[in-house]
Chains A and B, each alone.
Chain A
Amino acid sequence: MNIVVCVKQVPDTATERKLRSDDKTLDRDAADGVVNELDEYAVEEALRLKEAHGGEVTVLSMGPAKATETIRKALAMGADKAVHLHDDALHGSDALGTSYAISQALKKIGFDLVILGSESTDARTGMLAAMLAERLGAPQLTLASKVEVEGTSIRVERITDYGYDKVEASLPAVVSVVEKINEPRYPSFKGIMAAKKKPVETLGVADAEIAADQVGLASSWSEVVDFAAAPPRAAGTVIKDEGDGGAKAAEFLASKKFI
Chain B
Amino acid sequence: MSEILVLVEHVDGDVKKVTLELLTLARSLGTPAAVWAGPGYSDAAKARLAEYGAEKIYVAAADEIGDYVVAPKAEVLAHLVAERSPAAVFVAATGEGKEIAGRLAVKTDSGVISDAVGVGEGFVAEQSIFGGGVNVHSRVNKGTPIITVRPNSTAPVAAAAAGAEEKVEVALSDAARAARIVERVVQEKGARPELTEAAIVVSGGRGVGSGENFAIIEKLADALGAAVGASRAATDAGWYPHQFQVGQTGKTVSPQLYIAAGISGAIQHRAGMQTSKTIVVINKDAEAPLFEIADFGVVGDLFQVVPQLTEEIEKRK
Distance in angstroms from B103 CB to nearest chain A CB is 4
> Given A119-B249, A221-B111, are A163 and B184 neighbors across the interface (CB < 8 Å)?
yes
Interface bits B44-70 vs A (CB < 8 Å: 1, else 0)? 000000000000000000000000011
Chain B residue with Cβ nearest A230: B135
Let me know if A225 is at the binding interface, CB within 8 A: yes
Among the stretches A12-20, A80-88, A105-113, the one at the interface with B is: A12-20
Chain B residue with Cβ nearest A131: B102
By the criterion CB–CB under 8 Å, are B183 and A165 in contact? yes
The residue in B106, B257, B307 that gathers the most chain A C-beta atoms within 10 A of its C-beta is B106
Interface bits B230-249 vs A (CB < 8 Å: 1, else 0)? 00100010000111000011
Let me know if A203 is at the binding interface, CB within 8 A: no
Q: What number of residue pairs across chains A and B have CB atoms under 8 A from each other?
A: 290
On chain B, the residues within 8 Å of A240 by CB distance are 286, 298-300
Among the stretches A1-9, A44-52, A249-257, the one at the interface with B is: A249-257
> Given A95-B112, A134-B106, A245-B305, are A38 and B249 neighbors across the interface (CB < 8 Å)?
yes
By the criterion CB–CB under 8 Å, are B135 and A95 in contact? no
What is the bound-complex CA distance between A102 and B178, given in angstroms? Answer: 21
On chain B, the residues within 8 Å of A137 by CB distance are 175, 178
Chain B residue with Cβ nearest A231: B135
Let me know if B179 is at the binding interface, CB within 8 A: yes
> Given A94-B111, A222-B138, A258-B224, are A241 and B305 neighbors across the interface (CB < 8 Å)?
yes
What is the bound-complex CA distance between A131 and B99, given in angstroms? Answer: 8
Chain A, interface size category, equals 35 or more
What is the bound-complex CA distance between A141 and B298, given in angstroms? Answer: 43
Let me know if A151 is at the binding interface, CB within 8 A: no
Let me know if B42 is at the binding interface, CB within 8 A: no
What is the bound-complex CA distance between A99 and B281, given in angstroms? Answer: 40
On chain B, the residues within 8 Å of A19 by CB distance are 134, 136
Q: Which of A118, A140, A230 contacts B69 (CB 8 A)?
A: A140
Chain B, interface size category, equals 35 or more
On chain A, the residues within 8 Å of B184 by CB distance are 160, 162-163, 165-166
> Given A163-B243, A241-B299, are A229 and B111 neighbors across the interface (CB < 8 Å)?
no
Among the stretches A55-63, A122-130, A194-202, the one at the interface with B is: A122-130
Chain B residue with Cβ nearest A163: B187
By the criterion CB–CB under 8 Å, are A241 and B304 in contact? yes
Among the stretches B153-161, B163-171, B287-295, the one at the interface with A is: B287-295
Among the stretches B25-33, B79-87, B125-133, B207-215, the one at the interface with A is: B125-133
Distance in angstroms from A158 CB to nearest chain B CB is 7
Interface residues of B in 170-201 (CB under 8 A from A): 175, 178-189, 194, 200
By the criterion CB–CB under 8 Å, are A142 and B69 in contact? yes
What is the bound-complex CA distance between A124 and B150, given in angstroms? Answer: 13
What is the bound-complex CA distance between A204 and B142, given in angstroms? Answer: 25
On chain A, the residues within 8 Å of B295 by CB distance are 233-234, 236-237, 252
> Given A166-B181, A233-B293, are A222 and B112 neighbors across the interface (CB < 8 Å)?
yes
What is the bound-complex CA distance between A227 and B130, given in angstroms? Answer: 12
On chain B, the residues within 8 Å of A143 by CB distance are 95
Let me know if B313 is at the binding interface, CB within 8 A: yes
What is the bound-complex CA distance between A239 and B185, given in angstroms? Answer: 43
Let me know if A185 is at the binding interface, CB within 8 A: no
Let me know if A53 is at the binding interface, CB within 8 A: no
What is the bound-complex CA distance between A225 and B120, given in angstroms? Answer: 13
> Given A96-B106, A165-B183, are A253 and B297 neighbors across the interface (CB < 8 Å)?
no
* 9 A-B pairs with the lowest CB-CB distances in the bound complex, closest first: A246-B308, A241-B300, A221-B111, A127-B102, A163-B187, A250-B312, A139-B178, A238-B297, A130-B99
